[in-house]
Amino acid sequence: MNILILGSGGREHALAWKVSQSYHCDKLFIAPGNAGTATLGSNVAISVVDFAAQKQFCLDNHINIVIVGPEEPLVKGIYDFYKADDALINIIVVGPSANAAQLEGSKSFAKTFMLKHGIPTAAYAEFTIGNLQEGKEYISRHTLPIVLKADGLAAGKGVVISQTHEEALQVFEDMIVGKQFGEASSKVVIEEFLDGIEISVFALTNGKDYQIIGHAKDYKRIGEGDKGLNTGGMGCVSPVPFADNAFMNTIEETIIKPTINGLKEDGLEYYGFVFFGLIKCKDAVKVIEYNCRLGDPETEVILPRLETDLVALFAAMDNGTLEDVNINFSDNSFATVVAVSGGYPGEYKKHLPVSLPDISFKEDSIIFHAGTIQHEDNTVLTNGGRVLAVTSEGKTIKDAVESSLAILEDTSFDEMYYRRDIGYEFE
126 binding ligand GLY? (CB under 6 A) = no
Q: Report in angstroms how near the CB of residue 71 gets to ligand AMP at its nearest.
A: 11
In angstroms, the CA 260 to CA 280 distance is 20
Cβ proximity to ligand AMP: between 167 and 364 the closer is 167
Name the residues that contact ligand AMP, by CB under 6 A.
122, 147, 159, 161, 191, 193-194, 198, 277, 288-289
Cβ proximity to ligand GLY: between 212 and 312 the closer is 212
Q: Report in angstroms how near the CB of residue 273 gets to ligand AMP at its nearest.
A: 16
Q: Which residues contact 360 (CB under 8 A, 6 or more apart)?
A: none
Q: Report in angstroms how near the CB of residue 250 gets to ligand GLY at its nearest.
A: 22
Near ligand GLY in 272-291, by CB under 6 A: 291
Cβ proximity to ligand GLY: between 341 and 374 the closer is 341
Cβ proximity to ligand AMP: between 262 and 277 the closer is 277
Q: Report in angstroms how near the CB of residue 86 gets to ligand GLY at its nearest.
A: 34
Question: 298 contacts which partner out of ligand GLY, ligand AMP, none, CB within 5 to 8 A by kind?
Answer: ligand GLY
> Are the C-beta atoms of 251 and 120 separated by less than 8 Å?
no
Question: 147 contacts which partner out of ligand AMP, ligand GLY, none, CB within 5 to 8 A by kind?
Answer: ligand AMP
> Are the C-beta atoms of 35 and 352 separated by less than 8 Å?
no
Cβ proximity to ligand AMP: between 94 and 110 the closer is 110
Residue type at position 43: N
Q: Give me the half-sphere count of Cα atoms (radius 13 Å) on the Cβ side of residue 33.
A: 21
Q: Which residues pair with 380 in a beta bridge?
A: 354, 374
Cβ proximity to ligand GLY: between 72 and 298 the closer is 298
H or E stretch at 264? helix 257-265
Q: Give me the half-sphere count of Cα atoms (radius 13 Å) on the Cβ side of residue 291.
A: 20
> Are the C-beta atoms of 207 and 264 separated by less than 8 Å?
yes
Cβ proximity to ligand GLY: between 295 and 304 the closer is 295
Cβ proximity to ligand AMP: between 19 and 288 the closer is 288
Q: Please give the residue whose beta carbon sits closest to ligand GLY in the complex.
A: 295
233 binding ligand GLY? (CB under 6 A) = yes
In angstroms, the CA 47 to CA 60 distance is 17
Residues touching ligand GLY, count (CB under 6 A)? 7
Strand order in the sheet with 372-374: 353-354, 380-382, 372-374
Q: Which residues contact 263 (CB under 8 A, 6 or more apart)?
A: 100, 205, 207, 270
Q: Report in angstroms how near the CB of residue 150 gets to ligand GLY at its nearest.
A: 15
In angstroms, the CA 20 to CA 193 distance is 42
In angstroms, the CA 282 to CA 87 distance is 52
Question: 393 contacts which partner out of ligand AMP, ligand GLY, none, CB within 5 to 8 A by kind?
Answer: none
In angstroms, the CA 301 to CA 397 distance is 11
> Are the C-beta atoms of 63 and 29 separated by less than 8 Å?
yes
Near ligand GLY in 207-226, by CB under 6 A: 218
| Among residues 135, 295, 345, 384, the one that binds ligand GLY under rule CB under 6 A | 295
Q: What residue ranges bind ligand GLY (CB under 6 A)?
A: 218, 232-233, 291, 295-296, 298
